[in-house]
Structure 1
Amino acid sequence: MSAQVSIGDFAVMTSLSRKALRHYHEIGILEPAHIDAHTGYRFYDTSQVDHAHIIRRFRSLGMSIPDIKALLSTDDPATRTEIITTHLEQMEMQLQQTRDTVGALRELLSPVHTPAFVAVRHEPALAVWSIGATVEASEIDIWFAATLMKLWDAVAIATRAPSTVVPGGLYDRELFLESRGRATLFVPAPHSVEPPEGVRAEVLPPAEFAVLTHPGGHEGIDRSYAALGTYANEHLISHQGPIREHYFGGTPSAPTQFTATEICWPIFSTTPAPQ
C-alpha cells in the first residue's frame, strides 16, 4: 500500500534535492502526486521512489533528459533496450576518447624522441590525378575525407576495378603557419585515361625527402611531425617546400582508415639524384 510523503521525506528516500525535484517536475518527468492548493507544497507517492531512482541513476551516467523522458514514457521493452544500448555505446566511445587523451597527455610528459628510423629518399617525378583547395586548418578533416572519396571514385570508374593505389597529400607551409593554406590530395594517374571533371592531371616534380612512417592515420601524428622535423633540421638541410604524405591501408569503402601514414619532409639534397 502506497502513501503520500512530503518533498523533504521524498528527497531523503531518493537522494534527489528539492531543486532537482522541482526541475524534474517542471520538465515533466517526475510530477508530484499532489500539490496543496493553499500552500503549494508538493507531495509524492511512495510508489514513485523507483521512478525517481531510475532518473537519478541515469542522470549520474550522463543520459540526456530527452532520453530519460523517452525511456520512462514507453512500456515497450525493445524501445527501452534500444535507448539504454545506445547510451552505453556512447559511454564506451567517451571512455575510449578519455583513454586516448590520457595516453596523449602521458606521452607529452616525455620529450620528443629521435625517431627510430628516418629514410632519406629521392622521389622521382610522378604523374597524378589531384584535387587541391585553399582550406582552413579547422575544416581540413571534412575536406580531406570528401576529397579522398572523390579521388577513389574517379580511379575506380576509370580502371573499372578495385583500386590498389596509395593516395597522398601535399600541404603548403602556410597551412601550418597561418592555419589556412593550400592542400592537395593526389593518386597516381591511371594510364592513358583522362581525368573526370573536377580532377586535375599534373606531374609532381622530383624531390628529396626525409621520411618517417607514422602508424595509423592522423591520431597523434603531431609527435611524429615533431620528431621528423627535429631530425631533418639537426642532421640534414630542411627545405621550405610543401610537406608530403602517403596513406597506406585505406580502401574505397573506408578511404580514411589508414594502417600507416608516411610523412615526407622536404630537404636539400647533398648527393646527385639517381638517374
Structure 2
Amino acid sequence: MTTLMPIGVFAHATRLSVRALRNYDRLGLLVPARIDPGTGYRRYSLEQFARAGLIRRLRELEVPLAEIAGILDAGSPDEVKAAIKRHHDRVAARAAELAAISGGLDSVLAEPTRWLHVYERVRTPQRIAFLTIRTPLSGLAELIGPAYARLFAALDAQGVTPSGPPGTRYRTDDPDELTVELFVPVEGSVRDDGEIGPAELPGGLLAATIHEGDYEDVETAYRSLGRWIAERDRVPTGPAEELYLVAPGPSVAPEAYRTEIAWPVTA
C-alpha cells in the first residue's frame, strides 16, 4: 500500500508552504497523489519528495514558474542541469550566489534513497527565553547569527544562565514570510524587555532525528521525519524544532555541526 500523508505534513517535510503546494497543484507542477472527492483534501506520497525537492531548489534559484514545468519534464538529470545552466546565463550577475544554491541539486534530482533513523523521546515542560525574527527564507542565514548574539547578550545582562543548547521553532512554513522563534533553555526567570521574553516548551512526545554537518542537505532529515509520521498515522501537535547540539561558531567546522530536528506528535 502506498503511504500517503496530509498536505500539512508534506509541506513541513519538504519545506514548501501549504499555499505553494496548492498553487503547484493548480499549475500542474506537483499534483497530489490523491484528492478526497468529498472534502477536496490533498494527500501526497513518499514518491513525490524528489519532485517537491527539485521544485523548491529551482524556486531558490529564482527560476520562473512558467519555466519549471519544462525543466521537470526534461527527462534526464543532464537535461535538467542544461536547462538550469541556460537560466544561470541569463542571471550572470548573481552566478556566484546561485552556484552555491545549485550545489544541492544532485541530492534532489533522483529518488531519495537515504533515510535517517527516527526515534521518539518524551520531553518534560522546559523553561526558555526566546526572540522572534521575521524574514524570507533567503535572508535567514544572514540574520540568525546576529539574532542569537542579541539573545545571549540580553540573557547575560539579566544574569540568566542557559541550561541547554539553543534551538529554533518555525512558526510559519511560508518560505517568503518565515516567522522563526530562536530559543535557549534557561534557569531562573527571564524579564520581557520588548525583544526577548520568557516562554515554555510544552512537554510531550517528540519524533526526532539527528542531522550531521552543514545545512545544505537538511531536507533529508525533514523528509525522514515526514515519512516516519505518515507511515505511523501520527499527527503533528506543534511546529518542528531544530536543537543545535553542536552549533556553528568560529572554531567549529561545518562538518562537525550536529542538529536534532524534532517534531511534537501524537502518541
8 A contact 1:154–1:195 mirrored in 2:
no
Q: Residue type matched to 1:266 in 2?
A: P
Write the distance in 1 (CA, Å) between the matches of 2:107 and 2:173: 27
1:261 match:
259
Code of the residue aligned with 1:142 in structure 2: it is E
Q: Distance in 1 between matches of 2:138 and 2:101?
A: 20
Percent identical among aligned pairs is: 20
Change (3 A) 1:190 1:197: farther
Count matched residues. 171
Contact in 1 for aligned 2:170/2:241 (Cα 8 Å): yes
Matched with 2:119 is 119
Retained in 1: the 8 A contact 2:123–2:206?
yes
Residue number in structure 1 paired with 2:220: 223
Distance in 2 (CA, whole Å) between partners of 1:262 and 1:113 is 21
Deviation of residue 141 (structure 1)? 1.9
Which residue matches 1:83?
none
- What pairs up with 1:64-143 in 2 under 5 angstroms? 104-113=104-113, 115-143=115-143
Report 1 or 2 for greater relative contact order, CA contacts < 8 Å, sequence distance ≥ 6: 2
Provide TM-score, normalisation by structure 2.
0.53
Deviations 1:98-130 (A, max 9, x none): 69955x343334422363411112222111110
CA RMSD, Structure 1 to Structure 2 (Å): 3.5
Which of 190, 202, 207 is equivalent to 2:204? 207
* Alignment partner, residue 24 of structure 1: none
The alignment partner of 1:174 has SS state of: coil
Q: Which residue of 2 aligns with 1:149?
A: 149
Residue ranges of structure 1 left out of the alignment (5+ in a row): 1-93, 270-275
More divergent stretch after superposition (152-161 vs 245-254): 152-161
Show the counterpart of 1:172.
171
Q: Could you tell me the TM-score, scaled by structure 1's length?
A: 0.52
1:155 to 1:252, Cα distance in 2 relative to 1, 3 A:
farther
- Residue 232 (structure 1) aligned with residue 225 (structure 2): no
Quote how far apart the aligned CAs of 1:183 are.
Answer: 1.2
On the 8 A contact 1:131/1:198 being kept in 2, the answer is yes
**Equivalent-residue separation in structure 1 for 2:228 and 2:102 (angstroms):** 26
What are the ranges of 5 or more consecutive residues in structure 2 without an aligned counterpart?
Answer: 1-94
Deviation sequence 1:73-102 (CA, Å, 0-9, x none):
xxxxxxxxxxxxxxxxxxxxx99x969955
- Give the 3-state SS of the residue equivalent to 2:174 in structure 1: helix
